[in-house]
């Protein structure tokens, strides 16, 4: 009986690995920096392999390099240390759940004949 209980606990521990908070918002990666904007907060994005993968996935939905795309991500939210400048929180992306075209208009004023 103890072996069965141990096996069940072990399997639960394996399947409950924490991939972090689910966050939905608008993502942009430009010139080596990335930002995730939600309805209530802006996160700095830690540039890692997942952030670069997200940038590649988002390119198919962009018309301009400065366009944002809608994303759903799982990641670890990291508060900014008191002695540093930057966004109040950063997100370390662990999983890309969904990427889609932004439903918001990209309000950019363009001058010239483009």
Q: Where are the domains of the chain?
A: 19-101
Using the 8-state DSSP alphabet, how is residue 80 labeled?
Answer: P
The single residue listed with the structure tokens 């690995």 is 17
Could you tell me if 43 and 68 are in contact, meaning their C-beta atoms sit under 8 angstroms apart? Answer: no
Q: CA-based angle 82:88:93, to the nearest 5? A: 115
Distance CA 48, CA 92 (A): 8
Under DSSP, the state recorded for 60 is G
Query: Hey, what CATH topology would domain 19-101 get?
Result: OB fold (Dihydrolipoamide Acetyltransferase, E2P) (2.40.50)
Residues of the chain with pLDDT under 50: 7, 14-15
């Amino acid at each position: 009986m103890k072996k069965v209980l141990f096996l069940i606990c072990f399997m639960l521990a394996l399947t409950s690995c924490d991939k972090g908070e689910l966050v939905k918002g608008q993502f942009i990666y430009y010139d080596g920096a990335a930002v995730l904007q939600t309805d209530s907060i802006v996160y700095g994005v830690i540039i890692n392999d997942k952030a670069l993968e997200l940038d590649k996935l988002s390119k198919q939905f962009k018309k301009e390099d400065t366009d944002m795309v809608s994303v759903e991500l799982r990641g670890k939210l990291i508060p900014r240390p008191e002695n540093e400048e930057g966004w109040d929180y950063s997100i370390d992306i662990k999983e890309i759940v969904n990427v889609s075209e932004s439903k918001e208009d990209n309000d950019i004023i363009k001058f010239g004949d483009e």
